[in-house]
């Protein structure tokens, strides 16, 4: 697991305790991560999650293959951190959609909760972000690329 800062382990254990479980006997597992590729935005997005505004995130399908990581699944848990790996909350994935970038609609953009929550804003910031991610791998963004949209809920903060 990434970002195994003490606060991550503590938050996970506190979450399990809050639902009457403990890490030694629970079958629940988690990953930990932060949003985005820059400190200011990563911390801002974590704040939006804490405020109940951001309830989803989108990533490029192809990057899961490149990183040899599984696609997120419904009912999986994550500890969301700030840029420095400090735990902010525990989320549970409610739904996962794999769809072409061009098929993301106003409803999904609104769930993601960034900027003015419009599809126009969503498209602009995600095209910019995806181009940066792909450039590092000598890949190019196209609007027909598949994305992974995760809808989540905060279960502990």
pLDDT digits (tens, 9 = 90+) for 65-105: 999 999 999 999 999 999 999 999 999 999 999 999 999 99
Query: What Rg do the C-alpha atoms of the chain give, in angstroms?
Result: 16
How sure is the predictor about 28, in pLDDT bands with cuts at 50, 70 and 90? very high
Sequence-distant (6+) residues with CB within 8 A of 65 are: none
**CATH superfamily label, 1-153:** Sulfate adenylyltransferase (3.10.400.10)
How sure is the predictor about 147, in pLDDT bands with cuts at 50, 70 and 90? very high
**Structural contact between residues 95 and 27, judged by C-beta atoms closer than 8 angstroms:** no
- 100-120: pLDDT as tens digits: 999 999 999 999 999 999 999
Q: How many CA atoms lie within 13 A of 154 on its CB side?
A: 18
pLDDT of residue 123: 98
DSSP assigned state of 70? P
- 38-69: pLDDT as tens digits: 999 999 999 999 999 999 999 999 999 999 99
Helix (H, G, I), strand (E, B) or coil at 79: strand
**Structural contact between residues 55 and 151, judged by C-beta atoms closer than 8 angstroms:** yes
Q: Considering the chain, what is the average pLDDT of its residues?
A: 95
Residue 58 neighbours by CB distance under 10 Å: 21
In this prediction the pTM is: 0.92
Query: Helix, strand, coil proportions of the chain in percent (round to 5)?
Result: 35, 25, 40
How sure is the predictor about 3, in pLDDT bands with cuts at 50, 70 and 90? very low
pLDDT at 1 over 70: no
């Amino acid at each position: 697991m990434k970002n195994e800062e003490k606060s991550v382990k503590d938050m996970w254990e506190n979450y399990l305790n809050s639902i009457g479980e403990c890490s030694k006997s629970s079958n629940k597992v988690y990953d930990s991560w932060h949003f985005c590729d820059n400190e200011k935005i990563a911390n801002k997005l974590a704040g939006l999650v804490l405020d109940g505004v951001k309830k989803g995130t989108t990533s490029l399908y192809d990057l899961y293959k490149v990183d040899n990581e599984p696609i997120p699944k419904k009912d999986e848990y994550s500890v969301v951190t700030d840029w420095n790996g400090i735990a902010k909350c525990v989320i549970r994935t409610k739904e996962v959609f794999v769809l072409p970038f061009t098929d993301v609609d106003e409803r999904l953009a609104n769930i993601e909760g960034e900027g003015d929550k419009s599809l126009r804003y969503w498209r602009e910031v995600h095209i910019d972000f995806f181009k940066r991610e792909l450039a590092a791998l000598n890949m190019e963004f196209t609007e027909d690329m598949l994305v992974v949209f995760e809808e989540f809920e905060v279960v502990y903060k």
